[in-house]
Amino acid sequence: MAAEGLAAAGANVLIASRKADACEAVAKELNAMGLAGQVTGFGGDVGTKDGIAALVAEVNARTDRLHILMNNAGRTWGAPMGEHPYEAWEKLLSLNVTGMFHLTQSLLPLLQSASTADDPARVVNVGSVMGDIPKGTSTYSYAVSKGAVHHMTRVLSNDLAPMGITVNAIAPGPFVSKMTAFAIGTEEGQKKSAEGVPLGRVGRPEDIAG
């Protein structure tokens, strides 16, 4: 979604996830569209300290500056209050919050290299509407992690501004994806979820691409 929008605007985009094959396939598909920018996909994991170090090394090998960092890695977990496990909190906070912070921290040199007085480098953190508004969907650890992302964004925006780096967050509502399939993967699920959306529908790729 975002990669297509950025490439269409002329950006050279690097996309990474634990599934390198999927990223490479998406990059190939987007490049075949004849967009103004190029997309490169490769493997990366921000869920561990070693994974972050490896991803940062990969990015450094491919570019000497980074104009935009979009922190989009995340996972969710749904279970009733009485059954929501300890491991859900460990895994979600580690990836959704800790990983986001340390990846940003590690890429500061590349962001500063791209920044100018007239055109600062930019960090965009992907939060969620669930980080601000309780939805009653039993995704306790996910909702809390996204609330943490929103506040971390405020903290970082204050601290990184003197370095010429802006930090903002977006808080999408429901979008159909592999991660949300358990909740809105069916027509009935989408209809129910859309009841709380002013437009009366779940999100579409173009809503993120802009």
Which of the residues 77, 88, 142, 152 is marked catalytic?
Answer: 142
Three-class SS of the chain: CHHHHHHHCCCCEEEEECCHHHHHHHHHHHHCCCCCCCEEEEECCCCCHHHHHHHHHHHHHHCCCCCEEEECCCCCCCCCHHHCCHHHHHHHHHHHHHHHHHHHHHCHHHHHHHCCCCCCEEEEEECCHHHCCCCCCCCHHHHHHHHHHHHHHHHHHHHHHHHCEEEEEECCCCECCCCCHHHHCCHHHHHHHHCCCCCCCCECHHHHHC
Instruction: State how far the Cα of 210 lies from the Cα of 192, in Å rounded to an integer.
Output: 25
Q: Is 86 a catalytic residue?
A: no
Please give the positions annotated as active site.
142
